C-alpha cells in the first residue's frame, strides 16, 4: 500500500543496518585517516574564521559537490532488484546460448524498472511506458535485454527518437509539459497510433512494477548449435497477474505517494514475497519473414499469436534488494548491443539505432569504463581485450599486450562463435515509412482486445490530454482515430465537444446549505468560504468575492439586521479563461420582491466583505408579475447598464422558468444579458462570458 507505517519493511532499513553493525566503525576521511571531530570546522578561535588547512572539511565538501551524475535522458526514475533466471523448457533447437543450455540451469540477473519521460524526482505512477531492462550475468558474458512493458513502440525509425522524446518532456521556454507538442507529433506520425492506444488504455498506469508484463519489443535473431537462425521476440508474463491503476487512482498517488512503485517492489522482496515472471518466445523462420504480409522488423507492430504462438522458456525470480541504490540502480547501465553467442540482431531499424545510442549515453553518464563498475561487470566471464586506461579504470589487465595481433600470448579470436551469415540487398537511400500500414493492428486492438468499458476509458484518457490542444491538431488526431475505427473517432469527438461546451474549470453550481432553520447568519460567510475552497484553487478563491446569498424566508428584520434564516445557496461562477477576474463588486444587482430583505442580507455582512453596496441595488422587475409590458417599460434602464448583472433576488415560489423570463428579453428586442446566461438549469447555450458570476437570493 501507499501508507507509510512502521510495519512496512522499508521503514526498518536503518534498524536492520544497526543490528548488522553492533559496533560502529571509526569515522575516516576518504583516504582512510581517522577524524577526531566531524561536528565542527577548524577555526582560528571560537569565533574566528575557517582555516584553509581544514582538509577534513574540504574532503567532505569536494566529494559532496560531485555526488550527482547526469541523470538518464530517458528512464530517469527507476527501481531495481537482483534475482535469477531458470530454464524450465528446452529451446536448444532454436538457440545455442549457454544460459538456455539445459533445463534447471540458473543464471544470476539484475533488473531495472522505470518510467520514461519524467525526471528522477517525478512520480512513478504517471501515464507513461515502463522500462523493463534486464542484465543476465551468463558464463559467456553479460546479455542485456532492454525492453519495455509494451510489445510495441511509437516509432519505427531511430532518427525520430530524439524528437519524439522531446515531445514527452518539457517545453524549452515554459519548462512545462506541453500537450500540443505531444499530440502534434502523434498526429503527424500515425505509426505511433498503436503504442499511443496502449499507453492511454488501462495498461498505461500499471499498479507498480510487479503487476505488468515485459517485452523485448524488437525482433531478434536466435542461432542454434548448427548455425541455423530464426527470428524471435521475447515476452515476460507476470505471475502476479495484470493489475492497473485507474486514471483517478494514478493521479491521487502522484500527489500522495510519488514513489509508490519503488516502495511496492522493495517491500514485497523484503517480506519474502518474491515477484516472478515467465519467459516465452515467438519464433519466425527466415522464409516466413520473407513472405509475411507486413514488415516483421517493424517495432510498431506485433506478431499475431495465432500464427506465431508463445513458446515457454523459463522464469525469473527477484529475491534480493540492492544494498545501495546509487551504486546498483543509478549506475546500472544496459545496452542492447550486449549479446552473447546464440543471440543476434535483426534488421529492425530501431534496434539498430539503439546499438549505438545506449553505449554512447553510458560513456557520457558514467565514463569509458562504466562496464567495470560492479553492477555492470561480466563477473562470470572475465574480459580479455586490448581496451586500456581511461577515467576510473578498475581492471587494467596487467601487462598483457594492448595490441592485436601479437606474438606474446595475448587473447585470440574464437572462430566457433562467429555470427550467422545473412544476405542484404537493396538501394542505399533514406526510406520514409510514414504510411506503412499504420491502422490495421490498432483496429484489432480496438475491436478484439478492448471491451466497451476499456474503449470508453481509453478515449476518456486520450481526451483528457487532447481536449485543450490547438484545433488543427485535434482535427488531425481525430482523422487518425477515424482510420482506426469510426466509433473511436466519434467517441473522442463527442467528449471533446462536451468539454468545449462545458463550464470552465472553476465553474460551480453548489447547493451548500439547505433548509436549516435557526441558522446563525454570522456563520454564512465563513461556511461559504470554507466549502467553496474545497472546489477552487487558492488563486481563484482570492478573486471570488461574491459568496453572499441566502434564503430569507424566515428573516427576522429587527433593526434591519438578519439574526437567523434558512439558507439555500446557488452559485454559478463562469469564466471562459478558466479564472475569475479581479473581483466583480462593481456590477449591478437585479432583484424582484422585498427590498428590505435584500438590503438586510447585504448589510449583515462585514463592510469589507460586501460585494454590493446599497447604491448597486436597483428595483427592475418583480418576476411573479413579469409581463412583456413590464419588461418593455423597464427596458431603457436595462439597456443603460454598463456592467454585468450579477444576481437576481426572487421569491422562493418562483421557478427557473420565471427566472428565464426575467433574464431573456421579449422577442425582437436585443438580449440584455449575455446569451449563455439564460437560466440556472441550462447555461451552455453559448460561450460563457468572462468575469460573470451569478447569484440568486431566494426569500
Q: Which residues are catalytic?
A: 75, 148
Q: Alpha-carbon distance 391 to 369, whole Å?
A: 7
Q: How many CB atoms lie within 10 A of CB 296?
A: 20
Specify which residues 650 forms β-bridges with: 698
Q: Alpha-carbon distance 657 to 551, whole Å?
A: 19
Q: How wide is the angle at C-alpha 342 spanned by C-alphas 338 and 348, nearest 5°? A: 60
What SS3 state is found at 662?
A: helix
Cell numbers found for residue 468: 485543450
Secondary structure letter of residue 43 according to DSSP: B
> How many alpha carbons fall within 13 Å on the CB side of residue 603?
16
Cell numbers found for residue 625: 408579475
Q: Alpha-carbon distance 154 to 93, whole Å?
A: 33
Specify which residues 206 forms β-bridges with: 244
- Number of residues in the chain: 699
Distance of CA 162 to the CA centre of its chain: 19
Name, in order, each residue with C-beta under 8 angstroms of 294's C-beta and a sequence gap of 6 or more: 301, 436, 437, 440
Cell numbers found for residue 103: 533445463
User: Is 169 in contact with 238 (CB distance < 8 Å)?
Assistant: no
Q: Alpha-carbon distance 222 to 233, whole Å?
A: 10
Cell numbers found for residue 133: 531492462
Render 562-622 in DSSP notation, one character per residue.
Answer: --EE----EEEEE-TTSS--S--TTSEEEE-S-HHHHHHHHHTS-GGG-SS-GGGEEE---
Q: What's the alpha-carbon Rg for the chain, to the nearest Å?
A: 34
Q: Alpha-carbon distance 134 to 340, whole Å?
A: 14
Amino acid at each position: 500500500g501507499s501508507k507509510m507505517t512502521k510495519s512496512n519493511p522499508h521503514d526498518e532499513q536503518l534498524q536492520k543496518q544497526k543490528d548488522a553493525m553492533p559496533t560502529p566503525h571509526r569515522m575516516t576521511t576518504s583516504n582512510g585517516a581517522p577524524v577526531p571531530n566531524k561536528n565542527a570546522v577548524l577555526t582560528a578561535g571560537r569565533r574566528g574564521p575557517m582555516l584553509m588547512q581544514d582538509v577534513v572539511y574540504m574532503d567532505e565538501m569536494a566529494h559532496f559537490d560531485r555526488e550527482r551524475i547526469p541523470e538518464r535522458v530517458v528512464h530517469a526514475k527507476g527501481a531495481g532488484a537482483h534475482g535469477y533466471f531458470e530454464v524450465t523448457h528446452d529451446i536448444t533447437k532454436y538457440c545455442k546460448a549457454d544460459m538456455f543450455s539445459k533445463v534447471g540451469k540458473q543464471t544470476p540477473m539484475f533488473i531495472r524498472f522505470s518510467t520514461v519521460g519524467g525526471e528522477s524526482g517525478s512520480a512513478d505512477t504517471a501515464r507513461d511506458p515502463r522500462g523493463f531492462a534486464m542484465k543476465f550475468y551468463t558464463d559467456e558474458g553479460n546479455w542485456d535485454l532492454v525492453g519495455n512493458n509494451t510489445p510495441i513502440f511509437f516509432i519505427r525509425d531511430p532518427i525520430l527518437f530524439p524528437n519524439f522524446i522531446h515531445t514527452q518532456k518539457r517545453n524549452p521556454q515554459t519548462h512545462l509539459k506541453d500537450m500540443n507538442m505531444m499530440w502534434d507529433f502523434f498526429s503527424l506520425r500515425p505509426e505511433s497510433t498503436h503504442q499511443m492506444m496502449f499507453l492511454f488504455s488501462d495498461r498505461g498506469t500499471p499498479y507498480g512494477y510487479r503487476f505488468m508484463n515485459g517485452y523485448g519489443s524488437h525482433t531478434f535473431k536466435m542461432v542454434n548449435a548448427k548455425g541455423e537462425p530464426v527470428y524471435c521476440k521475447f515476452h515476460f508474463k507476470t505471475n502476479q497477474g495484470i493489475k492497473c491503476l485507474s486514471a483517478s487512482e494514478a493521479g491521487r498517488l502522484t500527489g500522495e505517494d510519488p514513489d509508490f512503485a519503488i516502495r511496492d517492489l522493495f517491500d514485497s522482496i523484503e517480506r519474502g514475497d518474491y515477484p516472478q515472471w515467465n519467459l516465452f518466445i515467438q519464433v519466425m523462420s527466415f522464409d516466413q519473414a520473407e513472405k509475411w504480409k507486413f514488415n516483421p522488423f517493424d517495432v510498431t507492430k506485433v506478431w499475431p499469436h495465432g500464427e506465431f504462438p508463445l513458446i515457454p522458456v523459463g522464469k525469473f525470480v527477484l529475491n534480493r534488494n540492492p544494498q545501495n541504490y546509487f551504486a546498483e540502480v543509478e549506475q546500472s547501465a544496459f545496452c542492447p548491443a550486449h549479446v552473447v553467442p546464440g543471440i543476434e540482431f535483426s534488421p529492425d531499424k530501431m534496434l539498430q539505432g539503439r546499438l549505438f545510442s545506449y553505449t554512447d549515453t553510458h560513456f557520457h553518464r558514467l565514463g569509458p569504463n562504466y562496464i567495470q563498475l560492479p553492477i555492470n561487470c561480466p563477473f562470470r566471464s572475465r574480459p580479455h581485450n586490448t581496451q586500456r586506461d581511461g577515467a576510473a579504470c578498475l581492471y587494467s589487465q596487467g601487462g598483457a599486450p594492448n595490441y592485436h595481433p601479437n606474438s606474446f600470448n595475448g587473447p585470440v579470436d574464437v572462430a566457433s562463435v562467429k555470427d550467422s551469415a545473412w544476405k542484404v540487398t537493396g538501394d542505399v537511400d533514406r526510406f520514409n515509412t510514414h504510411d506503412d500500414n499504420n491502422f490495421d493492428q490498432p483496429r484489432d486492438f480496438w475491436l478484439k482486445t478492448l471491451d466497451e468499458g476499456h474503449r470508453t476509458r481509453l478515449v476518456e484518457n486520450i481526451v483528457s490530454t487532447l481536449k485543450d490542444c490547438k484545433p488543427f491538431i485535434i482535427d488531425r488526431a481525430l482523422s487518425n482515430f477515424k482510420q482506426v475505427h469510426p466509433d473511436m473517432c466519434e467517441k473522442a469527438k463527442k467528449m471533446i465537444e462536451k468539454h468545449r461546451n462545458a463550464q470552465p474549470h472553476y465553474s460551480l453550481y453548489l447547493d451548500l446549505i439547505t433548509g436549516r432553520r435557526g441558522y446563525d447568519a454570522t456563520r454564512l460567510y465563513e461556511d461559504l468560504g470554507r466549502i467553496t475552497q474545497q472546489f477552487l484553487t487558492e488563486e481563484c478563491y482570492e478573486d471570488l468575492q461574491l459568496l453572499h446569498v441566502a434564503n430569507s424566508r424566515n428573516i427576522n428584520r429587527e433593526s434591519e439586521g438578519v439574526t437567523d434564516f434558512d439558507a439555500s445557496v446557488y452559485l454559478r461562477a463562469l469564466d471562459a479563461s478558466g479564472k475569475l477576474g479581479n473581483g466583480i463588486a462593481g456590477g449591478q444587482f437585479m432583484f424582484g420582491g422585498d427590498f428590505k430583505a435584500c438590503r438586510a442580507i447585504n448589510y449583515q455582512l462585514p463592510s469589507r466583505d460586501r460585494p454590493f453596496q446599497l447604491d448597486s441595488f436597483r428595483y427592475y422587475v418583480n418576476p411573479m408579475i413579469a409581463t412583456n409590458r413590464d419588461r418593455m417599460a423597464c427596458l431603457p434602464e436595462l439597456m443603460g447598464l454598463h456592467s454585468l448583472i450579477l444576481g437576481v433576488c426572487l421569491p422562493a415560489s418562483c421557478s427557473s422558468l420565471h427566472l428565464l423570463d426575467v433574464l431573456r428579453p421579449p422577442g425582437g428586442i436585443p438580449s440584455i444579458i449575455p446569451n449563455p446566461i439564460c437560466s440556472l438549469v441550462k447555461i451552455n447555450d453559448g460561450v460563457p462570458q468572462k468575469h460573470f458570476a451569478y447569484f440568486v437570493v431566494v426569500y
